[in-house]
A = this chain, B = another copy of it.
């Protein structure tokens, strides 16, 4: 198949490109390199089945050219703002990078008759519901603009399925960790422990707990759902049953850095920042029933990510 991967030079998108190529697909990767990085895809530069185009999806002319030049069977729309906290300060970031990119991709899919879309949604669409988060719960009131933009994109994809006959796979990611990631609590902790190996201050009370999915497991889930779920509008939570709290993240990092006698201090309160969701019960029965399960636990994923980052730093 000929596949467009938007945000294909990003953390998740670049792993997705690698896997799609390895499975024999032709991949066109577009990325504006605002968050994505050329070093994430440079190993594919001589691969005949891989083409990278630097592109802002919100540039209508440039996007039109990509769709005119290629006859895509499927779009994996991964392009998005990935920094939740930045969206709270700069309102237009999630609007432009997450929502408008989706809108523009849908419009081009309509015009060019592309019929399959796999979308990187997020657990953030659920907001702060005090219930187990199955795919069918409501009401949906996201508390971050990141989540709001993802939910808005889902709503437009849903209408596009009905009106344009598109088949879609909406995949709601939890936090993803692994090689090529660029931000999150882990980086912050490593940076601060590098500066001061004696002490680490943690936002909140350390009990904020989230499932961290390993990036290779996520990519596996995307392709599995795309290959196995056959509704017109498919939607799945993706994740891992276990979860890792902030204190455990700190402890894994301390251990892998080989530090001793680090004093962990806490600012207190049940969340790190406005828009952060302190507790989280993610129902994965739907994707498990489809036949997919994460191979690594949340703690294992975090440890793999920490080791990859430390290895990269020791090389540089």
Question: In whole angstroms, what is the CA distance A257 to B127 when docked?
Answer: 51
Does A135 lie within 8 Å of B139, measured CB to CB?
yes
Q: Which of B141, B143, B235 contacts A139 (CB 8 A)?
A: B235
Given A135-B139, A136-B139, A138-B136, answer yes or no on A156-B163 (Cβ-Cβ < 8 Å): no
Verify if A148 is at the interface (C-beta below 8 Å from B): yes
**Interface residue ranges of A104-151 to B (CB < 8 Å):** 106-107, 110, 125, 127, 135-145, 147-149, 151
Does A142 lie within 8 Å of B158, measured CB to CB?
yes
A125: B residues at CB distance < 8 A: 155
Question: In whole angstroms, what is the CA distance A143 to B163 when docked?
Answer: 8
**Assembly of this chain: how many copies?**
2
Does A155 lie within 8 Å of B151, measured CB to CB?
yes
Instruction: Please count how many residues in chain A sit with their CB below 8 Å of the partner chain's CB atoms.
Output: 37
**Interface residue ranges of A265-292 to B (CB < 8 Å):** 274-275
Q: What is the chain B residue whose CB lies nearest that of A235?
A: B139
Verify if A162 is at the interface (C-beta below 8 Å from B): yes
Bits for A81-98, please: 1 = Cβ < 8 Å to B, else 0. Answer: 000000010010001000
A149: B residues at CB distance < 8 A: 155
Verify if A103 is at the interface (C-beta below 8 Å from B): yes
Does B140 lie within 8 Å of A140, measured CB to CB?
yes
20 intermolecular pairs with C-beta atoms under 8 Å apart: A91-B106, A91-B107, A95-B103, A99-B152, A136-B138, A138-B140, A139-B235, A140-B140, A141-B233, A141-B235, A142-B155, A143-B162, A144-B159, A144-B162, A145-B159, A147-B159, A149-B155, A151-B151, A152-B152, A152-B156
Q: Which residues of A contact B (CB under 8 A)?
A: 88, 91, 95, 99, 103, 106-107, 110, 125, 127, 135-145, 147-149, 151-152, 154-156, 158-159, 162-163, 233, 235, 274-275
